[in-house]
Chain A
Amino acid sequence: MLSRTADNLYWIARNMERAETNARLLEVGARMSLLPTAQGFRSDWDSLLRASGNLVGYREKYGPPEQAHIESYLFFDRDNPNSVASCITNARENGRIIRTALTTQVWDALNTAFQELRAIEGAKTRADLSHLTDWVMRQAAMLRGAIDATLLRNDGYNFLNIGYYLERGDSTARLMDVKYYVLLPRADFIGTGLDNDQWSMLLRAMSSNRAFHWAYGGEITSAKIAHFLILNPQCPRSLITCVAGMNNHAARLAKLYGRETAATHALAALQAELERQTTDQIFEEGLHEFLTRYITQTADLGRVIHESYLSGDIS
């Protein structure tokens, strides 16, 4: 298929998944700000902006963190290329450019998200944050469902899924990293009740609370959480699930095209590396350090995928 078509499919997925990540981030932030801290009710918005990579852009525009501004910045702000509004608009534009590579259902899902977004933006009173985040997750789920139910399983489907898994793994790593920043000033909280509250909130933000309890039961510990969100292939958002997902779709592409690429090799190597990891090793390296490394590896992967398939300069 045309490299440009594949690129747009890949970015539909990345944009929608990124919109969802932002919604989840907002929810985590809002909930964390409700928890008592040693300094009383402390805002952890700063950490959240930093973990999500939005701190610089936000500061330039608004200065000190304030919940209402952060909501605007992460949700509505068109100047922020990663805001929910920007991501949904971009995803729909990606879809419009390659309209004929999509089914009516997939296009409907993208277009409906965009039209409803416009209605939300135009509304006189702003909806509650929880309504907004719910709405985003519903749109993302509808798109995902339309893709799964109606789209041809050709190379384009693989590019879509690679986009989804890449962005989702990145999102999981960043959400976990928020926790690191929140705790950074007071490392002595580790293992306390407060710590567990925060982990549990994080799980809820990833819609994984129940799943976690089914899988592990008992006390929430940071080791169990790290295992669940990083190494457990049953968790739909874990890093290993995301890497395995990418690897699977890259392998399908290699079979379809009858050739392997730098992306095929990089993904196989990353999956092998994660499969060898233990939670002990991760904590030895430092959770934050591990996550930072993963986020960097993801960015590199994005580059390799671009060069291997999407740039159009393939010889």
Chain B
Amino acid sequence: MTSYFNEMYQAGGLRAPYRGLEPWAADMPADKRRAKQAEAEALFRRIGITFAVYGEGGDPDRLIPFDMFPRVFTGGEWAKLERGIKQRARALNAFLVDVYARGEIVRAGRIPAELVYKNAAYEKAVVGIIPPKGVYSHIVGVDIVRTGPTDFYVLEDNCRTPSGVSYMLESREMMMRMFPDLFRENRIEPIDSYPDKLRRTLASVAPPKCKGAPTVVILTPGHFNSAYYEHSFLADLMGVELVEGQDLFVDGEFCYMRTTEGPKRVDVIYRRLDDEFLDPLCFNPASMLGVAGLMDVYRSGGVAICSAPGAGVADDKAVYTYVPEMVRFYLGEEPILSNVPTWKCADQDDLNYVSEHLADLVVKEVHGSGGYGMLVGPKSTRAEVEEFRARILANPANYIAQPTLALSTTPTFVDEGIAPRHVDLRPYCLVGEKIELVPGGLTRVALREGSLVVNSSQGGGVKDTWVLVD
């Protein structure tokens, strides 16, 4: 039986950061808890923060479950995380600039050339492009798990368009509305500057041809997209237009949006759309979601695209294993945050190990996301393990494996009262002229007892995440 690190109680004692929450939790009889829970749900539904799961059909207006029990970090714990995340974000961006230029890290033999250049996310069309301020990935979402008092691991990096930040902000908003006393009694770092910081970050990477204050927009695939709420939420809080591909067009050297007063030039596009759909003249010719000619404007310095096309090659799960190497190579530093030990099934030795220990490992598709196409060995039946083995052997390069991590737990409200549930953490690191992040991030919680999968598409919920002022 694995033992899990409980972030609130250790060896019978209460851990310091949760001290302020114990009396609050004790004063939460079932009826009050249910009433508060219902209030939260009604508020979420009212503001329309819903989440649709791809391919599952069902209720398009489904709510993401919200757990009222906050997850808490001390200022000291956070300081280390913050340093580690910033370090990682710098290294990832240095890597991106490098592999689209001279590829020094490949020439130095620190990462296999095939892994980078044969990668489907490596974008030949942007070779030689150095985006403004040398930033490819402007919002880096780093998924972190905890296994002990000082043990944190990076599970994966999200360099394209990590989602979920609206849940982080709305969870805090909800807690402040429902439990204002908690915020008086505990000294909690605020996070509400995130939209401002995001806007400043985006404005700071305006393209060379932009003179004066840049016009920033968010490009969404449209209101049928599962993350549409987040797109409109961020546009609203930043005070920028939320546009679809059809709202933009290219004329000469620039990109414009269609307004009631005529064309208005757009300088920075925060796109929530995959590379493939950005421009039918450069990528998928069948795309109806993008803007024809956008890539030519981008490549000739008329507009900035965030994240920059091609950024995805840095967050590939096989490339992930080399991020500590990137930190050493580009920054000359030792990584502050560790990777989870990872076996690459593309390597014969690793594949042998994975095959022998399949029942104890977590296996993921290299390009998968959202918790789909993965095997959690210890939670699977023998038949499921065997079926997955066949899939791995058929295409080993498509899989990596990691040990089943003993994810920490935090107290969570369940039907019976309060019980420990496994959590992870996704902070959002903003990279522009400066590198910054708001304290905390999105805590995702696996609501099913014993479950280690926190993805919202797999029954995960969210919690407010506190960083205490030490």
Choose among B48, B246, B263 the residue that contacts A4 (Cβ–Cβ < 8 A). Answer: B246
Q: Which residues of B contact A104 (CB under 8 A)?
A: 46-47
B223 sits at the interface (CB 8 A): yes
* Residues of chain A in range 264-315 having any CB-CB distance to chain B below 8 Å: 309-315
- B4-12, B92-100, B105-113, B234-242 - the one binding chain A: B234-242
Given contacts A4-B244, A312-B247, contact A159 B260 (CB under 8 A): yes
Contact across chains for B258 and A313 when beta carbons are under 8 A apart = yes
B243 sits at the interface (CB 8 A): yes
Tell me, rounded to whole Å, the shortest Cβ–Cβ distance linking B44 to chain A.
13
Measured in the bound complex, the distance between the Cα atoms of B223 and A99 in whole Å is 10
Contact across chains for A2 and B258 when beta carbons are under 8 A apart = yes
Measured in the bound complex, the distance between the Cα atoms of B380 and A296 in whole Å is 68
Tell me, rounded to whole Å, the shortest Cβ–Cβ distance linking B250 to chain A.
14
Q: Which residues of B contact A4 (CB under 8 A)?
A: 244, 246-247, 258
Tell me, rounded to whole Å, the shortest Cβ–Cβ distance linking B289 to chain A.
14
Measured in the bound complex, the distance between the Cα atoms of B48 and A101 in whole Å is 14
A204 sits at the interface (CB 8 A): no
B232 sits at the interface (CB 8 A): yes
Choose among A2, A99, A159, A312 the residue that contacts B241 (Cβ–Cβ < 8 A). Answer: A2
Contact across chains for A99 and B260 when beta carbons are under 8 A apart = no
Given contacts A2-B247, A3-B258, A97-B223, contact A314 B263 (CB under 8 A): yes
Q: Which residues of B contact A1 (CB under 8 A)?
A: 241, 259-260
Tell me, rounded to whole Å, the shortest Cβ–Cβ distance linking B386 to chain A.
46
The secondary-structure label for the interface of chain B is: mixed
Measured in the bound complex, the distance between the Cα atoms of B259 and A155 in whole Å is 11
B262 sits at the interface (CB 8 A): yes
Measured in the bound complex, the distance between the Cα atoms of B241 and A220 in whole Å is 53
Contact across chains for B242 and A3 when beta carbons are under 8 A apart = no
Interface string of A180-207 (1 = CB under 8 A from B): 0000000000000000000000000000
Measured in the bound complex, the distance between the Cα atoms of B243 and A155 in whole Å is 18
Tell me, rounded to whole Å, the shortest Cβ–Cβ distance linking B48 to chain A.
6
Contact across chains for B223 and A315 when beta carbons are under 8 A apart = no
Measured in the bound complex, the distance between the Cα atoms of B259 and A159 in whole Å is 13
Measured in the bound complex, the distance between the Cα atoms of B258 and A121 in whole Å is 38
Given contacts A97-B223, A100-B242, A312-B247, contact A3 B232 (CB under 8 A): no
B261 sits at the interface (CB 8 A): yes
Contact across chains for A3 and B223 when beta carbons are under 8 A apart = no
Q: Which residues of B contact A231 (CB under 8 A)?
A: none
Q: Which residues of B contact A6 (CB under 8 A)?
A: 260
Contact across chains for A314 and B260 when beta carbons are under 8 A apart = yes
Contact across chains for B236 and A100 when beta carbons are under 8 A apart = yes
Measured in the bound complex, the distance between the Cα atoms of B43 and A247 in whole Å is 40
Measured in the bound complex, the distance between the Cα atoms of B260 and A155 in whole Å is 9
Q: Which residues of A contact B48 (CB under 8 A)?
A: 99, 107
Identify the interface centre among A99, A107, A155, A259: most chain B CB within 10 Å of its CB.
A99
Q: Which residues of A contact B262 (CB under 8 A)?
A: 314-315
Interface string of B201-230 (1 = CB under 8 A from A): 000000000000000000000010000000
B257 sits at the interface (CB 8 A): yes
Not counting A97-B223, A314-B258, a sample of 12 additional A-B residue pairs whose C-beta atoms are within 8 angstroms of each other reads: A2-B247, A2-B257, A2-B258, A2-B260, A3-B259, A4-B247, A100-B235, A257-B260, A311-B258, A312-B246, A314-B261, A315-B262
> Can you give 12 contacting A-B residue pairs, CB < 8 Å?
A2-B243, A2-B247, A3-B258, A4-B246, A4-B247, A100-B233, A100-B235, A155-B260, A257-B260, A257-B261, A312-B258, A314-B261
Which residues on B are within 8 Å of A, measured CB to CB?
A: 46-48, 223, 232-233, 235-236, 241-244, 246-247, 257-263
